[in-house]
């Protein structure tokens, strides 16, 4: 009985192992390559799959999701014979599990080597300055070459990014000095522009101020002259309205003479020729007032003159 029990136990174990090998569960976004006696049979997709135990074997399980592979820095020589280290990052995705398994031995290593050689060809035709400022151009050219070459491997390259471009230390020092000089130059230019603009605004302000001041003075002088003209006109009209005679005008003229001589600076003053006419008018006025003050004086003076004529000569 014991050998029969042992055989039954062995059969149960074999059946259990066969069931395990028959049922294959493939996760989502994955694929499996099935070989029968070492030859490709089919590709298992996500879900529950049935294979023939001990005949069909799982060769490879491949992740179909997008993968990110960073590559170490690679020394590349530019057109102007400078060595720069470039870090690259590749975003790829397996689209054909069979081609990725049988068309290339290691697609990751193949992508890395293809990236290095393509990058050296692209950078070799650029100088350092263009290399530092043409990341998008380099990425596009590198992606085009990789996508074309990896298509037959069942790989699709979605993006290629240059993570870092490191020139030599001496070149970095020179670039820092140049950038510092450019910043100082721009700062000096901006400061000069500011001073120039400030001087222009100040000159414009002074010009506007002088124009306004001159306009104010001109208006004030015009108003002053107009006021004086109005005053002269008013006085003239008042004089003509009062109808003064020559005697009154002569008297007013004599009253103004002391005012002409006023002031410490008046060391010399000129008597106008009209003073004689004024004095004649004034003397005429005083002569007219003489008979009103008493005629005896006049007679007495003529009588005195007569006495002088009659007075005997001393000689």
> pLDDT digits over 252-293, tens only?
666 666 666 665 555 555 555 555 665 565 565 555 544 444
Share of the chain above pLDDT 90, in %: 14
- 45 vs 24: CA distance, rounded Å: 10
Average pLDDT over residues 80-96: 90
Highest-scoring range by mean pLDDT, 24-38, 165-179, 247-261, 283-297? 24-38
How would residue 30 be classed by pLDDT, with cut points 50, 70 and 90?
very high
Residue 2 pLDDT > 90: no
> pLDDT digits over 214-232, tens only?
988 888 888 888 888 887 7
Task: Specify the DSSP class assigned to residue 27.
Answer: P
Show contacts of 116-122: CB within 8 Å, 24+ apart. 116/71, 116/74, 118/142, 118/145, 118/146, 119/74, 119/76, 119/86, 119/88, 120/74, 120/76, 120/77
The tokens describing 27, both together, are 């996760």
Half-sphere exposure of 231 (CA within 13 A, CB side): 6
Query: Which residue would you say has higher pLDDT here, 300 or 47?
Result: 47
Average pLDDT over residues 101-107: 89
């Amino acid at each position: 009985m014991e050998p029969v029990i042992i055989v039954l136990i062995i059969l149960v174990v074999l059946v259990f192992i066969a069931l395990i090998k028959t049922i294959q569960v493939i996760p989502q976004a994955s694929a499996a390559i099935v070989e029968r006696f070492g030859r490709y049979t089919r590709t298992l997709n996500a879900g529950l799959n049935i294979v023939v135990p001990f005949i069909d074997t799982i060769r490879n399980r491949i992740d179909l999701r997008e993968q990110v592979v960073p590559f170490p820095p690679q020394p590349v020589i530019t057109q102007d014979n400078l060595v720069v280290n470039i870090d690259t990052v590749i975003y790829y995705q397996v689209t054909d599990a069979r081609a990725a398994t049988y068309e290339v031995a290691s697609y990751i290593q193949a992508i890395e080597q293809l990236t290095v050689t393509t990058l050296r060809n692209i950078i070799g035709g650029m100088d350092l300055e263009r290399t530092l400022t043409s990341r998008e151009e380099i990425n596009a050219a590198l992606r085009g070459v990789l996508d074309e070459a990896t298509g037959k491997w069942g790989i699709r390259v979605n993006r290629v990014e240059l993570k870092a471009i490191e020139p030599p230390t001496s070149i970095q020092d020179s670039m820092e000095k140049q950038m510092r000089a450019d910043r100082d130059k721009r700062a000096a230019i901006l400061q000069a522009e500011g001073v120039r603009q400030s001087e222009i605004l100040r000159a414009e302000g002074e010009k506007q101020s002088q124009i306004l001041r001159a306009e104010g003075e001109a208006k004030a002088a015009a108003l002053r002259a107009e006021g004086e003209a109005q005053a002269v006109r008013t006085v003239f009209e008042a004089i003509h309205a009062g109808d003064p005679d020559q005697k009154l005008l002569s008297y007013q003229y004599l009253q103004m003479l002391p005012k002409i001589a006023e002031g410490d600076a008046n060391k010399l003053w000129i008597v106008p020729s009209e003073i004689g006419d004024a004095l004649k008018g004034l003397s005429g006025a005083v002569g007219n007032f003489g008979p009103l003050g008493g005629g005896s004086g006049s007679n007495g003076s003529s009588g005195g003159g007569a006495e002088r004529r009659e007075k005997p000569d001393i000689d």
